[in-house]
Amino acid sequence: MREAIIADLSTVVPEVLANELLETYEQLVAKHSGGDFEGALVKAGRFVEHTLRFIEHVRTGKTPVEIKQVQAAIRTIENDTNLQESLRFLIPRAAYGMIYDLRSKRDGVHVKEIDPTAIDVALTVAAAGWITAELLRLFHKSSEKAVADAMTALTRGCIPLIESINGEVFVGKSVPSKFEVLLLLAHAKPKGLGRTALGLAAKCSQPSVSTSLKALGRVDKRDSQSGLRLIQDCFLRSSHGSRGFV
């Protein structure tokens, strides 16, 4: 899916810029999932810059090396009446109001107040996912179904502990194998994972994967390669009864 998103976005901007945008988004999500909220806010700022560079390339045909003044860049974009509404207003305002502006507005937080960083980062991740999905909706060459699946994946809730490096998705902390399997399945929504792909992604042993699968309440046998396709609205049977995961 990652390669398809980059290919779609590269229809209007250089591939290197499309890759920078998506890679920064992935890093933001990974920092959030791993609990590195300060690091996530740094990546969020970079994501906003790449978003504005993306729009500037669409607008002018040239990619700025950097965005020196975010507010000035947004004013310039909003004054360009040739841009469609989403590029002109919706995306820049979401990028500024829901991502870029959060940190500066929190400078006055006192020591005794509850630290809002975690909820701030959760908002930035959601906004960054929406922005990426909206850019994909506007500029794509893939089928409508493929784009719809990608948009769903980009705007789903953030799955904890999931990290991604160079397209490899894995659980970044040591957890019981049954929870590792469930985390990977939840992240794979809406397409799910075939048994082979799940075994490659899981860091636990293959027998542990098989044992964990037996604890799942629902599977869908449609995968043409392995004969087993897993769906996400599954349940983990435990001593406390069935527990909904997603």
pLDDT digits (tens, 9 = 90+) for 79-101: 999 999 999 999 999 999 999 98
pLDDT at 236: 37
Neighbours of 8 (CB within 10 A): 21
**Which residue did the predictor score with more confidence, 189 or 2?**
2
pLDDT at 20: 97
Burial class of 42 by CB neighbour count within 10 A (0 to 12, 13 to 18, 19+): middle
CB 231 within 8 A of CB 219: yes
Cα separation, 50 vs 201, in Å, equals 29
Model-wide pTM > 0.85:
no
Query: Cα dist. 56→60, 61, 67, 132 in Å?
Result: 6, 7, 10, 15
CB 198 within 8 A of CB 207: no
- pLDDT at 9 exceeding the cut of 60: yes
pLDDT at 123: 92
Taking only the tens place, the pLDDT of each residue in 156-199 is 777 777 777 777 888 888 888 888 888 888 777 666 777 888 88
DSSP annotation of 228 reads: -
Q: Which of 67, 44, 43, 46 is nearest to 55 (CA)?
A: 67
CB 196 within 8 A of CB 226: yes
The domain spans of the chain are 2-158, 163-244
